[in-house]
Structure 1
Amino acid sequence: MLPASEVLEWEDGLLCTQLIWKTEPSIDMVTDLMRSKIQDVSQDDKQTENTVSTATYIGGGAFNKLYLMDRCNDSWILRVTLPVDPYYKTSSEVATIKLIKSFTSLPVPRVIAHYGGAPEASPSDGCLGLEWILMTKLPGKNLTDAWSEMDIGKKIRVVELLADKLHELYTCKEAQFSSIGNVYQPSVQTDTSERGASYGPAAYTVGRIVSMPFFWNQRLRQPVNRGPFASSAEWLTSRLQLVEYECTQILNSDSVNSNEKEDAARFKSLSQRLSKHIQFFVPANEKFVLHHDDVNAGNILVDPTTGDLTGVLDWECVSVLPNWKSCQLPIFLTDTQPRNTKPSENAYFRNVDGSPNELYFHHLLEWELTMLGQYFLRRMESHNSDWIEIYKSSGRIRDFEYAVHECDSELMVKRIEKWLDIVERGEKYQRLLEYN
């Protein structure tokens, strides 16, 4: 695999740091790799040999590119990824998917093969110069694309089924651990010759964490504890130390302007203030569970005609986290302002063709998501576990964790400072997050 410095670059943008791909695999190399790995697991070798398929690029994110291949009446996805946290990100994601597939009924892809740069891997696996995972393609449309096709009844069904699956993961004994970090398999195991191979709980352990606050920009170089963490306090302390180290480097640099140094000084001061209050916010008797913290509409696959849940995607950077972090609404149900009353078309201006204007549909979406969030919570409550109790009692620590996450954000720092002023003065507590 190529060194990280040859394939990626961190570039300061207008509003945030951006990740730049310095190289991309050719479609021919991707096609050859996918064909060879699919050949290894095909149940019909003759059919596979006679089928000529080519990989197709279908999109990607900040550090992933996705390729599709249809072959042997099946569809396969190759996700090529930049080594933002070399070896650990890919290895952990593969272990996480395998654990979930082995011990829960969550609809997740089957991992066929992967390459994370490990020395014991076949040299040909590193031919792309990047890390990758080959997996089966799940059926369905992502919820973002299917939304307009579904009536409110089908949307409710999706949300309730999602709640059932996430609750299953929350209560899965094999997904509960004694520390915070990421899941790994201690010894390298492959299932390229088996379909649906399963592994016992002893095959999984928690190791160093893989998450964006710990590797974004140049943070992999910073000397902080990366886990596993024995408590929320340790985890939050390391995150604040990352901010402090980063700000100190800016303040000591001769190549940044005075405005950047002024911001860095403010962020550093806020991170130090927050550090003093960690023990006040962290609850006692924590449990640690595997938690998908990026359940957005783009990562949910559905059958829009029935409202069935067909897939939950994007398990990279999924960590074992405290139960107070796990017991919360999925991101897509909190991405808008709450709206408790359904908007009336008659209250909005009409377009020339007589249809309601865009604001109406924006408010309608807010109302739908607010209502669906209530359905999600009621469904969780129906399971009679401690999930809903933890959700209701964890507002303060979720506020604090949000403050840690955003303490180096120009857009949020003033708001966090005012909130922390109230905390430090011992006044009546006010929520930092209005809806969570």
Structure 2
Amino acid sequence: MNVLPDCYRTCRELKETFWLQTGPKIPALQDIISAHFGYDCGELTLLDEGAYARAYKASLSTGKKLVVRVVLPVRDGLKTEAEVATMDFVRAETNIPIPRVHLFCSSRNNPIGAEWIVMDFVPGERFIDCWDELSLEARRRTVEDLAGIMSSLYSITSTHCASLISFPSLTNSQRARRFGDHPSLPPTVEGRTSLCPATFGPVNDLCFVERLFPAPFQRCGPFTSEREYLEAVAYANIIETDRRIVKHMRWPHEKVFEVYDRVRAEYAKTVESGLVGETAGLPRFHFSHGDLSDTNILLDKTTGCITGIIDWEAAGFRPAWLAAGKAGMLEDHSHDEEDGDVDGDDENNDDCYCLHRTFFEDPFPVAGSESQEDFLLRSHFLVQLAERDLGLAVHHRYGTELRAIFAALCEVVPASVEAWIEKYRERRWDVIARGKFPFDVENWIRERIALWQRYEIV
């Protein structure tokens, strides 16, 4: 008997199913856009298919170009509300180039039958599509712009780990216009960012909607401690009632937390203790884009200037070491060591792997794997971070191991977490410096196998 739930289908399969069920009426958007702007809107053409949204390009009769983002119904109302509020906030409070949102609907109760956002079209090419064509001078400019954007976001802090829902300080001209009624949202919390008062909502972290099984809102924050947030990352998606299944799914993550507790204590002692204000008083969370990948950064490929940052659906406040580093496909170059693929031949590696080395320090450099240009650009990036915000630079450089642990906590499949634990111990744990690993891995695996056999879990 197989007592595990059927929750390991591919994300692509689930997305296609949800899109078919949603059936958004795209042509109806033309009439809404035309009525809003007072000019005819041309046909909408598919521009990009993201993880949980489809982007369409449209043009008004005046020549003005727009992008329409149709949102998959994963977290009704909340994700769209937070994304639009975040974009309004970032446009008002920073110089980061992002699209202006003109009109949005955060309820499926509209002529389209899905949530949607209408925003300005931002010129530029995706980082991933043009990086190889850039000159060295242009790449240096990209490095500098990216460091500036990261520091601008990181400098905004809060006492809550949460998404942003609203800001009373913004004027009407700074807010996007709403189409339709305000949706019913889960409970929110009134608080402050370092810039202004704000309303916080549950975190829209990508791991909470992994494989389109969204965690219940009440499990997703807002949080006031790092540990609460990480426990939600690990366990919030587990909604089974069968104790055998719960034990099977939780146990590997519980062992990862034993590693986290050791590493986090060392981090506080060796890293945070040298940064003024990091441990004093209430915890501080730092603002993060949440998915700053090389598909969400737009460039002028002639100058290397960043022309736009898009897809803000996962933005919010995160622990300092997380906000300072992991950024989607521009994640730490230690990825291969973390998943055990030290030869770098993982079939999942993307063709732009050099980007990891450029923007994120490699704690395990492999001889001959990095060109002199990569090394110089990465070094320039680290210097740029330090010049703008020393705390950001320190957390970026030394938070690699905690971010690796975070990635393991985000993993859904228990067997994958178990494999990560084995390889982490082999590749990353320094017995001489740290002593014994927090637990006996071989003995624990034997206990896991006994659990499978006892309950016939496969």
TM-score, L = length of structure 1:
0.72
Report the Cα offset of residue 267 of structure 1: 4.3
| Pair 1:184 & 2:150 matched | no
1:331-383, CA deviations, whole angstroms, 9 ceiling, x for partnerless residues?
444476799xxxxxxxxxxxxxxxxxxxxx97877646555333211111122
**Aligned match of 2:252 in 249, 266, 270?**
270
2:127/2:295 contact within 8 Å kept? yes
Report the Cα offset of residue 414 of structure 1: 1.4
1:98-130, CA deviations, whole angstroms, 9 ceiling, x for partnerless residues?
111011000001010111129xxxx7xx11110
**Aligned match of 1:134 in 103, 118, 124?**
118
Q: Structure 1 residues 159, 310: CA separation in 2 closer, same or farther (over 3 Å shift)?
A: same
**Aligned match of 2:325 in 320, 325, 328?**
328
Aligned match of 1:400: 405
Please tell me the residue identity of whatever aligns with 2:308: G
2:41/2:59 contact within 8 Å kept? no
- In percent, how many aligned pairs have the same letter? 23
Aligned match of 1:112: 102
Counterpart-to-counterpart distance in 2, 1:338 and 1:28: 43
**Aligned match of 1:210 in 204, 214, 229?**
204
Please tell me the residue identity of whatever aligns with 1:394: G
Q: Structure 1 residues 334, 226: CA separation in 2 closer, same or farther (over 3 Å shift)?
A: closer
Aligned match of 1:147: 131
| Pair 1:317 & 2:314 matched | yes
Counterpart-to-counterpart distance in 1, 2:335 and 2:261: 31
1:251-275, CA deviations, whole angstroms, 9 ceiling, x for partnerless residues?
55xxxxxxxxxxx865432122234
2:260/2:402 contact within 8 Å kept? no
Report the Cα offset of residue 225 of structure 1: 2.6
**3-state SS of 1:210 partner:** coil
Counterpart-to-counterpart distance in 1, 2:168 and 2:218: 26
Stretches of structure 2 that go unaligned for 5 or more consecutive residues are: 1-5, 178-192, 269-277, 337-350, 356-369, 438-458
1:281/1:397 contact within 8 Å kept? yes
Aligned match of 1:161: 145
Aligned match of 2:52: 63
Report the Cα offset of residue 16 of structure 1: 8.1
Counterpart-to-counterpart distance in 2, 1:149 and 1:424: 39
Q: Structure 1 residues 382, 127: CA separation in 2 closer, same or farther (over 3 Å shift)?
A: same
1:174-214, CA deviations, whole angstroms, 9 ceiling, x for partnerless residues?
x3211101011167989579899xx9954522221112222
**Aligned match of 2:9 in 7, 13, 33?**
13
Counterpart-to-counterpart distance in 1, 2:326 and 2:57: 31
Counterpart-to-counterpart distance in 1, 2:173 and 2:23: 26
1:9-48, CA deviations, whole angstroms, 9 ceiling, x for partnerless residues?
x975368873231233334212222222333xxxxxxxx3
1:389-432, CA deviations, whole angstroms, 9 ceiling, x for partnerless residues?
223343442232122123636445313245369999976449x9
TM-score, L = length of structure 2:
0.69
**3-state SS of 1:320 partner:** strand
Report the Cα offset of residue 73 of structure 1: 3.2
Please tell me the residue identity of whatever aligns with 2:200: V
Counterpart-to-counterpart distance in 2, 1:215 and 1:330: 17
Q: Structure 1 residues 422, 164: CA separation in 2 closer, same or farther (over 3 Å shift)?
A: closer
Stretches of structure 1 that go unaligned for 5 or more consecutive residues are: 1-9, 40-47, 253-263, 340-360
Aligned match of 1:348: none
Aligned match of 2:23: 24
1:157-184, CA deviations, whole angstroms, 9 ceiling, x for partnerless residues?
112111112112212xxx3211101011
Counterpart-to-counterpart distance in 1, 2:381 and 2:289: 16
Please tell me the residue identity of whatever aligns with 2:157: Q
Aligned length: 369
2:54/2:70 contact within 8 Å kept? yes
Aligned match of 1:354: none
Matches within 5 A, 1:19-418: 19=15, 20=17, 21-22=19-20, 23-39=22-38, 48=39, 51=40, 53-71=42-60, 72-117=62-107, 126-171=110-155, 175-185=156-166, 191=172, 201-202=195-196, 204-217=198-211, 219-220=213-214, 222=216, 225-242=219-236, 245=238, 249=242, 251=244, 267-276=249-258, 278-282=260-264, 283=268, 285=279, 286-328=283-325, 330-334=327-331, 367=371, 371-406=376-411, 408=413, 410-411=415-416, 413-418=418-423
Greater mean deviation of Cα atoms: 267-276 or 311-320: 267-276
- Greater relative contact order (CA < 8 Å, ≥ 6 in sequence): 2
Q: Structure 1 residues 110, 390: CA separation in 2 closer, same or farther (over 3 Å shift)?
A: same
Counterpart-to-counterpart distance in 1, 2:131 and 2:196: 40
2:252/2:414 contact within 8 Å kept? no
Please tell me the residue identity of whatever aligns with 1:79: R
Please tell me the residue identity of whatever aligns with 2:104: H
Please tell me the residue identity of whatever aligns with 2:126: N
